[in-house]
Structure 1
Amino acid sequence: MAIADRSQIVRTKGQENTTRGKELMAGILLVALIATLGIRNLVPVDALTPAIVTMLFAIGATTAGFALLCRRDRFRTMWFDLAGSLTFIGIVLSVLIEPDQMIRLFALSDQPE
C-alpha cells in the first residue's frame, strides 16, 4: 500500500549528512562571493575572473586536502564531493576568461600594447 509506506516521511541516518553537506557548500560559496566582492576593488577588472577562478581552485584543493585528513568514509566522500564541485565551478568560470585578459595579466607594464 502506498499510504502505509513511511519511507518518504521517516528520516534515515544518511539524510543528516547530506543536509550538512548542502549547508557547507552554501557556506563555502557565500565565503567565495564575499571574497570576490572584497578583491573586486583590489585587482583590475580584467584580472577579476582569473582571480576568482584561482581562488575557487585553491579552496577546492584545500577542501580535498581536508578530505584526505578525514578518517570517516562518509565525511571523506562529502568533502571530496565539495572539492569536486568547487573545481567544476572554477572550470566553468574559466571558460569566460578571454585570452587577451591572460596576456594583459602577464605582460610587462612598460611595453606598448
Structure 2
Amino acid sequence: MALLDRSQIVRTTERASPAHGKELTAGILLAALVTALAIRNLVPTDALAPVIVTLLFAVGAATAVLALLCRAGPFRMAWFEIAGGLTFIGVVLSVLIEPEQLMRLCGASDQSE
C-alpha cells in the first residue's frame, strides 16, 4: 500500500497560472465573426469567403508574431495554438471557395488568346 500513499509528495515549485487558451480562442473567433458580419455589406457576395479567409490568415499571422514576442512559456504556447487554429480554420474555409468564384473576382475573361 505504500505505492498508493501520496501524502509524502512534496511540491517544490508552484504551478504556473493557466494560459486561458479557450477564452482567447473564443474571443478571437467572436471578433472574426463580428468582422465578417460587418463586412458582408461592404464586399460582393462572391468576395466574402476569400476576404474572410484572408482575414483569418492575417489574424493568425499576427497572433504568431505576438507569440514570438511573448516570453512566458505557457502563454507563448497558447498563442501558438491559437495561431495554428486560426490558420487551420482559414484553410478549411478556403476549400469552400469555388474556382469560378475567384475567376469572376479577378476579372478573367472568357476569351481564349
Q: Deviations for 1:6-35, whole angstroms, at most 9, x for unmatched residues?
A: xxxxxx946732xx1100100000000000
Q: 1:72 to 1:15 in 2, by over 3 A?
A: closer
Contact kept, 8 Å, 2:60 with 2:82, in 1: the verdict is yes
Match of 2:64 in 1: 64
Match of 2:76 in 1: 76
Match of 2:18 in 1: 16
Structure of larger gyration radius: 2
Correspondences of 1:1-113 after superposition (within 5 Å): 13=15, 16-17=18-19, 20-107=20-107
Q: Which structure 2 segments of 5+ residues have no match?
A: 1-5, 7-13
Identity rate, percent: 60
Q: Deviations for 1:62-100, whole angstroms, at most 9, x for unmatched residues?
A: 000000100112111110000000000000000000001
SS at match of 1:16: coil
Q: In structure 2, what residue type is equivalent to 1:16?
A: P
For the aligned residue pairs, the C-alpha RMSD in angstroms reads: 2.4
How many residue pairs align between the two structures?
A: 101
Contact kept, 8 Å, 2:18 with 2:74, in 1: the verdict is no
Instruction: State the TM-score, normalized to the length of structure 1.
Output: 0.80
Distance 1:47 1:82 in 2: 25
Q: Which structure 1 segments of 5+ residues have no match?
A: 6-11
SS at match of 1:75: helix
Instruction: State the TM-score, normalized to the length of structure 2.
Output: 0.80
Q: Which runs of 4+ in 1 moved over 2 A?
A: 12-17
- The alpha carbon displacement at 1:104 in A equals 1.2
